């Protein structure tokens, strides 16, 4: 079984992110939270793997991403790093790990890099966290910004509706994106914003934009692996394309296993010592 035929086996780096934007090669990114999944995604040819704080929803069943801690992100990121040879590995800074001041943000960023071995960090927010992002970048850590729908602020928004539909919010998003690009971020995630705005932002910034629910004009796309593989099917916004129906494959396979155990047909002689 073959994944995407990768024409460049070298490790993807922040530098190669810029090269890809320059030559118009779209960047593929998926989330992963564990070793086994990450090694499969890496073998399939994905360019970048994000240890999203969506681990909170996908792995733990929480309603929001807010409960994730630095320790938990490091645990998941370490597992992903162990499974990856080629993809650029980005880890989310969780809620509370950088909003509490520049020093605290830099310390947590360094800790996540040191203890997980990931390649870069992703941080939600615009100019309000400019100083923290700058100091993290100054410490030698590549940063991917995250604008638009920023799930760590869901209690402030009060809704998962599309962001930046009005001019004031669209203007702020554009100036946040330019600021993050100018200080040296190696990417900007654009979540759930109008496609036309994402296309404009993509043209205005030097670094690649990675969209989720932000249309086709971004330099790359990211999805939560469990959504695109159909492991989770309760959450169905229009930006998810399902490439497999693993939920039903698993339920059927486990059903067969349970049936075999109940019938006494597993294990058979060849499966015994
Ligand atoms: O946590 C996450 O999975 C994310 C993506 C949805 C971009 O931030």
Give the pLDDT confidence of 63-105 residue by residue, as tens digits: 999 999 999 999 999 999 999 999 999 999 999 999 999 999 9
Percentage with pLDDT > 90 across the chain: 96
Convert the pLDDT of each residue in 218-271 to its tens digit: 999 999 999 999 999 888 899 999 999 999 999 999 999 999 999 999 999 999
Give me the mean pLDDT over the 19-44 stretch: 98
Assign domain 14-242 one CATH number from 2.30.30.100, 2.40.50.140, 3.40.1350.10, 3.20.20.60: 3.20.20.60
Decide if pLDDT at 165 tops 90.
yes
Tell me the C-alpha distance between 150 and 64, whole Å: 11
- Show the ligand 1 pocket: residues with CB < 6 angstroms: 31, 50, 52-54, 92, 189, 191, 212, 222, 224
Give me the mean pLDDT over the 127-151 stretch: 98
Tell me the C-alpha distance between 236 and 211, whole Å: 17
User: Where are the chain's structural domains?
Assistant: 14-242, 246-273
Rounded to the nearest 10°, the torsion over CA 95, 127, 224, 60 is: 10
Q: What is the pLDDT of residue 235?
A: 83
Whole-number mean pLDDT of the chain? 97
Q: What is the pLDDT of residue 77?
A: 99
Question: Measuring CA to CA, which residue among 70, 127, 130, 64 is closest to residue 94?
Answer: 70
- Do the Cβ atoms of 13 and 90 come closer than 8 Å? no
Take atom 2 of ligand 1 and give the residue whose Cα is closest: 52
Question: What pTM, to 2 d.p., does this model score?
Answer: 0.97
Question: Which atom from ligand 1 is nearest to the alpha carbon of 151?
Answer: 8
Question: Which atom from ligand 1 is nearest to the alpha carbon of 222?
Answer: 7
Centroid of ligand 1 to alpha carbon of 58 (angstroms): 11
Buried b (16+ CB within 10 A) or exposed e, 51-60: bbbbbbbbee
Centroid of ligand 1 to alpha carbon of 262 (angstroms): 41
Convert the pLDDT of each residue in 117-126 to its tens digit: 999 999 999 9
């Amino acid at each position: 079984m073959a994944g995407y035929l990768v024409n460049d086996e070298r490790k993807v780096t922040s530098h190669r992110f810029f090269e890809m934007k320059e030559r118009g090669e779209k960047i593929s990114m998926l989330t992963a939270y564990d070793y086994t999944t990450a090694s499969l995604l890496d073998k399939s040819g994905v360019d970048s793997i994000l240890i999203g704080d969506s681990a909170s929803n996908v792995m733990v069943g929480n309603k929001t991403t807010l409960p994730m801690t630095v320790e938990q992100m490091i645990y998941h990121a370490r597992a992903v790093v162990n499974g990856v040879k080629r993809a650029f590995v980005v880890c989310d800074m969780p809620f509370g790990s950088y909003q509490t001041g520049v020093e605290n943000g830099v310390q947590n960023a360094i800790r996540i890099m040191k203890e997980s071995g990931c390649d870069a960090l992703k941080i939600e927010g615009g100019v309000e966290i400019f100083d923290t992002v700058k100091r993290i970048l100054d410490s030698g850590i590549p940063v991917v910004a995250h604008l638009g729908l920023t799930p760590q602020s869901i209690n402030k928004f009060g809704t998962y509706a599309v962001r930046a539909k009005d001019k004031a919010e669209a203007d702020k998003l554009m100036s946040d994106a330019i600021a993050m690009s100018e200080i040296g971020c190696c990417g900007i995630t654009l979540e759930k914003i109008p496609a036309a705005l994402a296309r404009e932002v993509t043209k205005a910034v030097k670094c690649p934009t990675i969209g989720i629910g932000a249309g086709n004009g971004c330099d790359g796309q990211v999805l939560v692996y469990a959504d695109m593989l159909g492991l989770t099917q309760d959450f169905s916004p229009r930006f998810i394309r399902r490439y497999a129906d693993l939920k039903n494959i698993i339920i059927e396979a486990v059903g067969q296993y349970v049936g075999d155990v109940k019938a006494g047909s597993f294990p058979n002689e060849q499966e015994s010592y």
